[in-house]
Structure 1
Amino acid sequence: MVNRGHFRVPLSARFLLRKPSSNAITLYIIFIFAFSVFIFLFYARNIVEDEQKPLISVESQSEKVPDEQLSDAPFSHGLHTCVKPTSKYKASQGSNRYITVRSNGGLNQMRTGISDMVAVAHIMNATLVIPQLDKRSFWQDSSVFSDIFDEFHFIESLKGDGYYEEMTSLWNDYQVIHVPKSDSRLANNDLPLDIQRLRCRALYHALRFSPPIENLGKKLVERLRSRGRRYIALHLRFEKDMLAFTGCTYSLTDAESEELRIMRVNTNHWKVKVIDSTEQRRGGFCPLTPKEVGLFLRALGYPPSTLIYIAAGDIYGGSTRLSELTSHFPNLVFKESLASQEELKEFTNHASQTAALDYIISVESDVFVPSYSGNMARAVEGHRRFLGHRKTINPDRKGLVEIFDKLETGELEEGSSVSYMVQQMHKNRQGAPRKRKGSLPGIKGRARFRTEESFYENPYPECICSSRRQT
């Protein structure tokens, strides 16, 4: 029989139903409060630490940059050279009309000018005579065409594009057009595809250097490779003529600045005589100094052991000014230390021929860094793009000057934060494939041509194609 009036409460239930004492409640509250304080302090510490960290950790930037990242070429996306004529191209038929030309300027100005004149001769269906070289420029080089270039190869390479002869064949017929200067004869853009490709064939195939230059250039590259697996070619354009031309006197003594001013005033074909050096530098129009180049390379992550070939003439200020670079990068090499005096003897007093050696070594380098965007820098960059977009780091001089000035005034300190700034500034300035830039918007008339990127600085897309296109 079941007793419905009474029931047993289990022991556990009886325990739960007991009214807790005041002491137990106090202990429970103290425990909860202490645990809450611990949790708050733990998360508060993490929040403070997170606020002190940048969005991208600066500490991670101070780690050693991998060698591959410092030297490997950008991804080329399957692009390759394409200079063969299209099916619409009409080979030269020859004529009794002749074009003679005096190529002006230094080596690279002459090379691009000659390539342009090859195209001009084809357009005019005229015979281009072997060009005369400039002997009156700053370098006073007495070299003739065959001293610098392989003349026979030049003629044979362009047989289908025009006839190339010596001056002696002209005396029987005087139907001649003479061009006193070869530079800036063709536009960068909007020319027929076959004319653009002809310019590339002339520059990259036909204008091969003479055998003595080619042979020594290859030897010097091999010697550099034997010293270190990889090397940087630095075109350090801190030379007297360039500093005088640009009016850049930053870091120079008063006597040096005056010497350059007098040189600029006395050079007739330099139109601008009075230049504000400070404004030039702020605008990014000055070559980087040896000291600034050292800061730049360190910020990019290159170690002091980096092998650097200096592709340049005499540095203004000599070894004293160059020491600002060698103190951080002692492994510098010049052609005078790489080649013997006997090997360089035949090139002595021929600036264009020694410049050709620098050109070969620069094109073949793992990394090319120009301190200024002159003719040499643009020509080498374009050639390296043509050969597969080899790594070329083009300094943002205007942006770098702002950083350098802050370092000088103490607003910034050299280290991981500066390295991060410089690396971010140059991540898209390392020679990766891109189409040539046109003129700036809003500029009309002839002025727009001056804002275009040079065809020889970037021959893409006319002379560089994707794997899907026919060559």
Structure 2
Amino acid sequence: MVNHRGGSYHTRGFSRRPSFFTIITLCIILLSSCSIFIFLVSTRNISDDDDDDHHKDPLVEHFNSHSQSQSQSQSNFQSGSQSLPVPDEQLWDASFSYGLHPCVKPTSKYKAAQGSDRYITVRSNGGLNQMRTGISDMVAVAYIMNATLVIPQLDKRSFWKDSSTFSDIFDELHFITSLQGDLRIVGELPKELESVPRARKHFTSWSSMGYYEEMTESLKDYQVIHVAKSDSRLANNDLPLDIQRLRCRTLYHALRFSPPIEILGKKLVERLRSRGGRYIALHLRYEKDMLSFTGCTYGLTEAESEELRIMRENTNHWKVKKINSTEQRIGGLCPLTPKEVGIFLQALGYPPSTLIYIAAGEIYGGNTHLSELMSRFPNLVFKETLATKEELKAFARHATQTAALDYIISVESDVFVPSYSGNMARAVEGHRRFLGHLKTITPDRKGLVKLFDKLEIGKLREGWSSLSSLVQKMHKSWQGAPRKRRVALPGLKGKARLRTEESFYENPYPECICSSKAEYEMR
């Protein structure tokens, strides 16, 4: 009976044809149940994935725990980078150059300086690249003033107190002979002129062609003109094409480094190539003088900050003594720290195995500050590890000569990355543009600081791919692609004008970079 009644029950429940509304109701209940089930399962999976991403994100890990081992850091980076693979050509290939070529050949109207009994002597101030660009300016000034240029005396009173002479750093004979079709250059002032009265001039910075034509007339009674400083003596723009090309011939052809520097520089490039084929040259401006000059103390101890403040106070020719370090950093006016450079290169997609040559002087704080870059990129190379002690012995205590080695290695690199826009960064970028717009990645320091700060306080928590995407998008147009030099904003004059325009030596396009192959031929 029980079975029969049970059977009767089912018979009674479903023997009649169900109504349309009953079917709709049952369908809705069934679909709702399935949706709730799927939502719960998906939520659990997403939660698990988020937890995994948080632990695998090398940037979040770094800020939350500084005690991780190097091997764990590399493993995390590799796991995170898989979410945003970057094509090899995007990392290493130079920008498309649109058929542009270097061009330094004079125009058909160009005439060499006629030569006269007037001489210009120069004290070339600053570090290596400030001197190089300054000498190029003075070659052009001597040409405009129709004077004989005496081989410049180099600055021995700078921060490095380097005793190097012109011929220690540059190939003097090559310099004189390669420019003999432009103007007369001599090794020293003739003996009979050593005691004559000299016109000692501090030529106005960023001056035009007209300024020097006026100087030529006003100084016509002097046989010897001594120039106290060589840096930034010529304007960036609005100069005759032949003057601009003379500057390029000087900088990129005539100012060749001395044979010992050239030979060792090329050797070191070959050794880098033998280690990994491709390498990044990182100009890491995290040196004591630079940090003190800019007043940038982010990431330093109180004792280190105080040491830099005292150095700035005691350096007479640094005019600004009180600097707000926080404001400097927010404004993008500070060199990136080694830690920030590591984050930046990771976000661009470079793997931990990337070979990186550190083009710099002594890093402030040594391994204490370098360790956080090295934990991400352990394959760091320095002059001291690439060259033998015997090879570097001749360059000991000559910072300008070792800087020349850095310059050669940086120009020859597959990728050049400057952590600050100083003289070397601008000179190397300009040279690489001249050679074919080789890849130069210039960090947007102001934009990056915002991202770094968000990351540090936990506001940027969407994982590796989020930061990487932001950094790559930010620097898409900052990689040395061809573009004409930025000119000054309209209506500005003086220093305000100069702050808004780009250095000629940072980007010699269009005057020294042309689309016609015929213009590339040397005289």
TM-score with structure 1 setting the length: 0.88
TM-superposed deviation, 1:62: 2.5
SS at match of 1:160: coil
1:123 aligned partner: 144
Partner letter of residue 173 of structure 2?
A: F
2:380 aligned partner: 332
TM-superposed deviation, 1:160: 1.2
1:30 aligned partner: 23
**Structure 2 vs 1, CA of residues 76 and 36 (structure 1 numbering), >3 Å: closer, same or farther?**
farther
**Structure 2 vs 1, CA of residues 436 and 37 (structure 1 numbering), >3 Å: closer, same or farther?**
farther
2:504 aligned partner: 455
Give the alignment of 1:2-401 within 5 angstroms. Answer: 26=19, 30=23, 34=27, 62-172=83-193, 174=196, 175-401=223-449
Q: Unaligned 5+ residue runs, structure 2?
A: 1-15, 47-79, 197-222
Contact 1:61-1:416 at 8 Å conserved across structures:
no
TM-superposed deviation, 1:265: 1.0
Contact 2:104-2:519 at 8 Å conserved across structures:
no
Q: Unaligned 5+ residue runs, structure 1?
A: 1-22, 53-58
Q: 1 CA distance for matches of 2:81 and 2:287? A: 38
- Is 2:521 the counterpart of 1:440? no
Q: 2 CA distance for matches of 1:466 and 1:445? A: 33
TM-superposed deviation, 1:29: 8.7
Q: 2 CA distance for matches of 1:328 and 1:76? A: 32
User: Which whole-Å deviations, capped at 9, do the CAs of 1:416-456 have from their partners, x for residues lacking one?
Assistant: 10000000000000000000001134533342012211000
| Structure ID, larger Rg | 1
Partner letter of residue 251 of structure 1?
A: G
2:212 aligned partner: none
1:416 aligned partner: 465
Aligned residues: 439
Q: 2 CA distance for matches of 1:332 and 1:351? A: 21
Instruction: Find the partner of 2:513 among 459, 464, 469.
Output: 464
Partner letter of residue 241 of structure 1?
A: D
User: Which whole-Å deviations, capped at 9, do the CAs of 1:207-246 have from their partners, x for residues lacking one?
Assistant: 0000000000000000000000100000000000000000
2:220 aligned partner: none
**Structure 2 vs 1, CA of residues 75 and 353 (structure 1 numbering), >3 Å: closer, same or farther?**
same
TM-superposed deviation, 1:281: 0.2
Q: 2 CA distance for matches of 1:82 and 1:238? A: 35
Contact 2:269-2:412 at 8 Å conserved across structures:
yes
Contact 1:74-1:432 at 8 Å conserved across structures:
yes
User: Which whole-Å deviations, capped at 9, do the CAs of 1:383-409 have from their partners, x for residues lacking one?
Assistant: 000000000000000000000011111
**Structure 2 vs 1, CA of residues 71 and 29 (structure 1 numbering), >3 Å: closer, same or farther?**
same
Q: 2 CA distance for matches of 1:251 and 1:139? A: 25
TM-superposed deviation, 1:63: 2.7
User: Which whole-Å deviations, capped at 9, do the CAs of 1:294-344 have from their partners, x for residues lacking one?
Assistant: 000000001100000000011001111100100110000001000000000
TM-superposed deviation, 1:36: 13
Q: 1 CA distance for matches of 2:379 and 2:280? A: 11
Contact 2:81-2:464 at 8 Å conserved across structures:
no
Q: 1 CA distance for matches of 2:336 and 2:418? A: 9
**Structure 2 vs 1, CA of residues 123 and 343 (structure 1 numbering), >3 Å: closer, same or farther?**
same
Q: 2 CA distance for matches of 1:188 and 1:153? A: 26
Contact 2:81-2:349 at 8 Å conserved across structures:
no
**Structure 2 vs 1, CA of residues 325 and 388 (structure 1 numbering), >3 Å: closer, same or farther?**
same
2:71 aligned partner: none
TM-superposed deviation, 1:33: 8.8
Contact 2:487-2:502 at 8 Å conserved across structures:
yes
Q: 1 CA distance for matches of 2:29 and 2:182? A: 87
User: Which whole-Å deviations, capped at 9, do the CAs of 1:144-197 have from their partners, x for residues lacking one?
Assistant: 000000000000110011111122425347410000100010000000000000
**Structure 2 vs 1, CA of residues 405 and 441 (structure 1 numbering), >3 Å: closer, same or farther?**
farther
TM-superposed deviation, 1:30: 3.5
1:7 aligned partner: none
SS at match of 1:159: coil
**Structure 2 vs 1, CA of residues 69 and 97 (structure 1 numbering), >3 Å: closer, same or farther?**
same
Instruction: Find the partner of 1:427 among 476, 489, 495.
Output: 476
Q: 1 CA distance for matches of 2:436 and 2:495? A: 32
**Structure 2 vs 1, CA of residues 331 and 61 (structure 1 numbering), >3 Å: closer, same or farther?**
closer
Q: 2 CA distance for matches of 1:64 and 1:276? A: 39
Overall identity of the aligned pairs, in %: 77
Q: 1 CA distance for matches of 2:18 and 2:454? A: 63
Alignment root-mean-square deviation, CA: 2.5
